[in-house]
Amino acid sequence: MTMLNATLSSGLAQFESHLPWTPYFTLAAVSSLLVGLLGTLYAYFFPSGNDANKIHALRGFSAVNAWMFFNKRYDFLWSNFDKTGHDLFSFKVLHHQVVAMSGDEARKIFFNEKKLSFLEGYRLLRGGVGHAIESHGSLLNDRDIKAEEDDSTIMFKQRLLKILHRDRLQDVIPTLFSDISRCMENWGAEGTIDPFKDIYDLVFQMTVRMASCQELATDPAMVQKMGDLYWKLEQNATLVSLLLPWFPSTARKTTRQASKGLSDMVSHYVEVRQKADVPNLDAIDVLIADGADTPSIVHFVLGTIFAGVVNTGMISCWVLLYLGFNNACKQKTIAEVQNLIAKYTNTSSSEPIHQRLSTAPISTWEDEMPVTESVIRETLRILGSGTPLRRNLADDLRVAGKTIDKGAFMVYNSADVHLNERFYPEPLKFDPDRFNLTGEDDTQGKAPFLAWGTGRHPCAGMKIAKLEIKMILALFLYRYEYTLVDQSGKPAKQLPQLDRNTIQKKKPMGEPCYLMYRKVAE
């Protein structure tokens, strides 16, 4: 999906940007930042008029625009689209031009133009600034622009597809169901859970299982430690740590320690598997057999975990919230799960439901759950207000009658489609049935949908993400009755509202919302 691809790239960049690098770059970096500051002051006090033939440039302090972009991205983009009245506008991050885009033509070019680099976009705008300080001490410039995909990136994708091969997924389904069941058993027969803690923990366990090895995945203490380190990285990815990674802040120290802790942990388990007498089919062993060295395996494991946890966890949580507030839709989803169980499992068996569900063929999960598929799709549509990033590698790129300079960064907010009434009437309404229409009524089913990737960057992890979400939903909906409650345990009066400015863990705004559950089946 677009979100997963974006998170994968940004996760790797974030991880790399926190690794130690030599302090003598600091003076050069400060010099570059001072030059940028002087440019900002000049632009503020001596603003140039906007040329109608050029992309509209935001005025004011570029530092303020950069802060808003990193901290209030959704509000920043749409308030400026509204204020300027343009489909394109530009602003500065340090001394780099960033072009915000909207509209049909811009969308098609953004996702399909081969001269727009996915990797270069995320290199700067999601944590790669520190990593971008080259040995000569200057910040990114046009000479630093890389080709769209280098050999290591191509190899990463090839290995990901190998790990996510259909036969391997079929083999690992029973183990994943055991992981889900064990996590749920720890909740007890009834109680209250915070989905943005407990469901995320469950997804973290599944992702570690898929991306690493049995020795790590079956050690609860180490999985917990890995999760703690991961969330330290997440919580300390501040604007200062992204733009000024050399600044001696507490966040910088914490992220360096967390990055080293994660790297050392995965390296240890790679060494364990390298010394094992008998190889197995775990991800690390597959990579070892593929000839990957230890740093490459560490890079792969952590990148995959970063991508999988954020997106699969987020979708799983919000699906449960939306279903909890839409009983008719919830009952249709439960009925679909019950039909799957009746059709593909031994209903007279005394085995627990997670073992029975694990016998269903993978084709069932992929092709025979249209209700759940629509629920996931509609959840993604409403959540899908993320901002994919690109960098222009072309000398002369024309968009909507304007020219985008080589080296400029480009951003496109998915809400331009997903929350657009032209494509999706009543866009904030949760209505999975909008994707189940046929014939002339099927306008929304044919509308642009970006969450699983589109154009030149389809989501490599879409199938495993969908599979894991459906597995979690199937077991949870069959085992438990649940309602949404507030902090005091009273029924929630309204559906929580999404904070569209959060980049990673999309938690609700305002009062927390919990799931009050009661176990009704084993």
Co-location of 413 and 378 in the same domain? yes
pLDDT band, very low/low/confident/very high, at 144 (cuts 50, 70, 90):
low
**Residue at token pair 């500051």:** 37
Element holding 62 (H helix, E strand): helix 62-71
Contact 91, 55 (CB under 8 A): no
Co-location of 156 and 125 in the same domain? no
pLDDT: is 309 or 143 the higher one? 309
Mean pLDDT of 131-155: 50
Which residues are annotated as part of the binding site? Answer: 459
Q: At what angle do helices 220-235 and 195-211 cross, to 10 degrees?
A: 110
pLDDT band, very low/low/confident/very high, at 153 (cuts 50, 70, 90):
confident
Domain end, chosen from 100, 116, 147, is at 147
Contact 93, 369 (CB under 8 A): no
Q: Which domain holds residue 268?
A: 152-519
Taking the mean position of all CA atoms in its chain, how far away is CA 388?
Answer: 10
Which residues are annotated as part of the binding site for heme? Answer: 459
Number of domains in the chain: 2
pLDDT band, very low/low/confident/very high, at 512 (cuts 50, 70, 90):
confident
Co-location of 198 and 140 in the same domain? no
Co-location of 158 and 108 in the same domain? no
Region of residue 401 (phi > 0: left; psi between -120 and 50: alpha; otherwise: beta): left
| Closest listed residue to residue 206, CA positions, set 507, 467, 498, 494 | 467
The CA–CA distances, whole Å, from 216 to 177, 182, 211, 226, 310 equal: 17, 16, 10, 10, 20
What's residue 134's pLDDT?
31
Contact 384, 3 (CB under 8 A): yes
What's residue 28's pLDDT?
38
Across the chain, what does the average pLDDT equal?
Answer: 84
Co-location of 288 and 317 in the same domain? yes
Co-location of 216 and 138 in the same domain? no
Co-location of 263 and 316 in the same domain? yes
Co-location of 67 and 161 in the same domain? no
What's residue 215's pLDDT?
97
Mean pLDDT of 326-335: 97
Q: Which of 27-41, 48-62, 433-447, 475-489 has the highest mean pLDDT?
A: 475-489
Domain end, chosen from 95, 121, 147, is at 147
Residue 431, both tokens: 């209505």
**Residue 387 clears pLDDT 50, i.e. is over it:** yes
Give the 3-state secondary structure of 292-347.
CCHHHHHHHHHHHHHHHHHHHHHHHHHHHHHHHCCHHHHHHHHHHHHHHHHHHCCC
Element holding 517 (H helix, E strand): strand 514-519
Contact 236, 202 (CB under 8 A): no
Co-location of 58 and 71 in the same domain? yes
Co-location of 258 and 332 in the same domain? yes
Co-location of 324 and 352 in the same domain? yes
Q: Exposure pattern of 270-289 as b/e (b: 16+ CB <10 Å)?
A: beebeeeeeeeebbbbbbbe
CATH code: domain of residue 258: 1.10.630.10
Mean pLDDT of 23-30: 36
Co-location of 198 and 334 in the same domain? yes
Domain end, chosen from 101, 117, 147, is at 147
